[in-house]
Amino acid sequence: MAAAEERRKKFDTLIQSEREAYERGKRHLANMMGEDPTTFTQADVDRALAYLLPSGITDKRARPVMKPPEEYYPPMKAGQHGPDGRPLHFLFYTRNPQYYELMHNTYSELLKVVHIERRKIAAGIVESDMEAIDLARSEWINKDELEQRCIEGISEEQYSRFLALLERITQQPYAKEAEEYVWQFRNKMQAISKREKQPIQYDESGRGFAFGKGMKKSARASVIIRDQGSGKVVVNNTSFVKFFPELQNRVQILFPFNFVNMVNRFDVEATVEGGGHTGQATAIRHGISLALSNHFVDEHTVEQMRQAGLLTRDPRIRERKKPGRKGARAKFPWKAR
């Protein structure tokens, strides 16, 4: 008990010192940005860090952050013993009191919906069109999130047992009565909106064609693909063999047709500006992929193209020069004198 209280005191001391350091750093950031420290919010802190320490890294976990210590450090349990040395929680000796209390509450919810069904049957009430819980576009919380709620570690078996109990609730005829409780352990998934496929347009000769606009860094490409072609590719009124002398760039342009098994079926007319040859070739590939996905392939192929990265613009850009450095990463040579 004494050791637990000592750990708790050390944790509180750490949080207090980190809170003071956070407030001090926030005031410095506000002064650097020329704003009032008293009205400098967390959103202002994030904006200041993005401006002062820009990064082209797409993974947010690798970017510099400054958060309050309560959000950064995992919570710690309060003292679990009273002044007389007895444990405060009635499930203390299970070694996972918070987890088993959660299981106890969940099982109580299961009994509640089961009792409702039994009372209906005893009263002779039969309802055939029972409304189930709509769990579409959502998923159960993961093991890490459950551990954060319990503030204690749990095993994979315990996690599976908890989800199985929740599944039993959702399978009951009157599960709607426990919907609010069940949704505490569900995360809504971001829906991927399906684009409405546009009808194919036809020119004077009856050939179908489609437009697509691609981008890569500062390169911008406008692409027209025409069906019933021979695989001819023209870039800025020049054959792409002459426009792109490097074989790798020509392979990039033709890759979408190879991916959907439509080689030599379309003629391509592209207009590109800005950027270098590699960026222009990638922009044309992006435009061709968008044109194909809008008209000439089915939804399954569109999803495969999306997973292959053909329909997503490459967000990488040139990293800006940093203050006090020779470039984005390069530093000035250090001299002893």
**Sorting pLDDT into bands at 50, 70 and 90, what band is 298?**
confident
Residue 16 token pair? 């207090």
The one-letter amino acid at 105: N
pLDDT tens for residues 1-12?
555 567 667 878
d(CA 148, CA 140): 14
Return the higher-pLDDT residue of 108 and 51. Answer: 108
Q: What is the pLDDT of residue 92?
A: 79
d(CA 212, CA 200): 13
**Sorting pLDDT into bands at 50, 70 and 90, what band is 69?**
confident
Is the pLDDT assigned to residue 316 strictly greater than 90?
Answer: no
Q: What is the pLDDT of residue 232?
A: 92
Q: What is the pLDDT of residue 185?
A: 93
Nearest to 278 by CA among 241, 305, 252: 252
Q: What is the pLDDT of residue 58?
A: 61
Is the pLDDT assigned to residue 336 strictly greater than 50?
Answer: yes
Q: What is the pLDDT of residue 3?
A: 57
d(CA 171, CA 85): 43
Q: What is the pLDDT of residue 5?
A: 65
Is the pLDDT assigned to residue 285 strictly greater than 90?
Answer: yes
Identify the weakest region by mean pLDDT among 82-96, 115-129, 132-146. Answer: 82-96
- pTM for the model stands at 0.44
Is the pLDDT assigned to residue 293 strictly greater than 70?
Answer: yes
Mean pLDDT of the chain: 85
pLDDT tens for residues 41-61?
988 988 888 888 876 666 667
Q: What is the pLDDT of residue 193?
A: 47
Q: What is the pLDDT of residue 218?
A: 87
Q: What is the pLDDT of residue 192?
A: 47
Span 73-91, average pLDDT: 67
> Which parts of the chain fold into alpha helices (H)?
2-33, 42-52, 69-72, 97-122, 143-150, 156-170, 179-182, 240-243, 247-259, 277-295, 299-307
Identify the weakest region by mean pLDDT among 128-142, 163-177, 214-228. Answer: 128-142
Q: Which long-range contacts link 8-11 to residues 24+ away (Cβ below 8 Å)?
A: 8/76, 8/77, 8/78, 8/79, 11/73, 11/76
Angle at CA of residue 239, ends 218 and 216, nearest 5°:
15
Span 263-292, average pLDDT: 93
d(CA 147, CA 269): 56
